[in-house]
Amino acid sequence: MADRPGNGGPEDGTNYGWLYGAKGGQEPPPDATRAIPKQSRPDQPSPDQPRHDETRVMPTQQPPAGSAPRAPAPAPTPAPGGPPARASSGGSSRFRRPRFWFRMVLLLLVLWLVYTIAVPFFAWQKTDKVEFAPDGDRPGDQPGTTYLLVGSDSRKGLSAEERKKFNTGNPSSELTDTIMLLHTGDGPDVLLSIPRDSIVDMPGHGQSKINSAYARGGAKLLVRTIENETGIRIDEYVEIGLGGVAGVVDSVGGIEVCPKEAIKDKLAGLDIKKGCQEVDGEVALAYSRSRKQSALGDLDRVQRQREVVAAIGDKVLSPWSVLNPVRWWRLNNSVPGFFGFGEETSTLDAGRWALAMTKVGGKDGLTCTMPVTDGSAETWDRDRAEPIFKAFIEDRTDDIKPAQCTPSGLPNQR
Residue 283 has pLDDT above 70, yes or no: yes
- Note the helical H segments in 254-410: 281-289, 298-316, 319-323, 325-333, 347-359, 382-394
Domain hosting 251: range is 129-399
Q: Is residue 155 part of a domain?
A: yes
Does a structural domain hold residue 216? yes
- Buried/exposed code over 72-87 (b: 16+ C-beta within 10 A; e: otherwise): eeeeeeeeeeeeeeee
Q: How many domains does the chain have?
A: 1
The residue with greater pLDDT, 58 or 345, is 345
Tens digits of per-residue pLDDT, 164-206? 555 555 544 566 778 999 999 999 999 999 998 899 999 999 9
Q: Is the pLDDT of residue 272 over 90?
A: yes
What is the SS3 assignment for 229? helix
Written as one string, the DSSP assignment of 10-50 is TTT----HHHHT--TTPPPPTT---PPPP---TTSPPTTS-
Among the ranges given (47-56, 115-124, 266-275, 343-352), the one the predictor scored with the smallest mean pLDDT:
47-56
Is residue 364 included in any domain, yes or no? Answer: yes
- Does the pLDDT of residue 255 top 50, yes or no? yes
Contact 361, 367 (CB under 8 A): yes
How would residue 35 be classed by pLDDT, with cut points 50, 70 and 90?
low
* Distance in angstroms between the alpha carbons of the first and the last residue of the chain: 129
User: Per-residue pLDDT averaged across 5-9, rounded?
Assistant: 48
On whether residue 277 sits in a domain, the answer given is yes
- DSSP class of residue 334 equals T
- 257 bridge partner residues: 277
Please report whether residue 181 resides in a domain.
Answer: yes
**132, 343 Cβ separation under 8 angstroms:** yes
Please report whether residue 1 resides in a domain.
Answer: no
Q: In this structure, are strands 339-342 and 128-130 parallel, antiparallel, or unpaired? A: parallel
Beta bridge partners of 206: 202
pTM: 0.67
Most confident among 32-36, 48-52, 101-105, 166-170 (mean pLDDT): 101-105
More confident residue, 71 or 384: 384
Task: Note the pLDDT of residue 257.
Answer: 92
Mean of pLDDT over the chain = 78
CB atoms within 10 A of CB 114: 10
Specify the higher pLDDT residue, 155 or 251: 251
Angle at 314 between CA 396 and CA 256, to 5 degrees: 120
- 306 within some domain: yes
Tell whether 114 is covered by a domain: no
What gap in Å lies between CA 387 and CA 190, rounded to an integer?
13
CATH of residue 369: 3.40.630.190
DSSP 151-181: EE---TT--HHHHHHTT---TT---EEEEEE
Task: Classify each residue of 17-27 as buried b or exposed e, where b means 16 or more C-beta atoms within 10 Å of its C-beta.
Answer: beebebeeeee
